[in-house]
Amino acid sequence: MVLLNSLSSFSAERERAGEFGDYILEVSVPLAKVFFFQQLLPGMPKGEDEYAVIGGVYEVGYSTL
């Protein structure tokens, strides 16, 4: 269990997440906690496919590269 106490950013792509460290957190986020994702607004420039998630208590798994 992990407490995220603010707005956090997650990537849906494992390769992108691996660029930020040796451990990758695997989190299932309820749709109600997703604040923003790129596909939400059509016509947005292609970015890093990030998901901005509102804080809370999340059950996480982790793996190494």
The answer, yes or no, to whether residue 47 has pLDDT greater than 80, is no
Range of the domain at 34: 2-64
Cα(5)–Cα(14) distance, integer angstroms = 23
Asked whether the beta carbons of 64 and 24 are under 8 A apart, the reply is yes
Percent of the chain residues past pLDDT 70, beyond the cut: 92
Other CB atoms within 10 A of residue 1 CB: 6
The answer, yes or no, to whether residue 58 has pLDDT greater than 90, is yes
Cα(14)–Cα(51) distance, integer angstroms = 13
How many distinct structural domains can be found in the chain? 1
Compare 24 and 65 and report the one with higher pLDDT.
Answer: 24
Question: How many CA atoms does the CB half-sphere of 40 hold within 13 Å?
Answer: 10
Asked whether the beta carbons of 10 and 28 are under 8 A apart, the reply is no
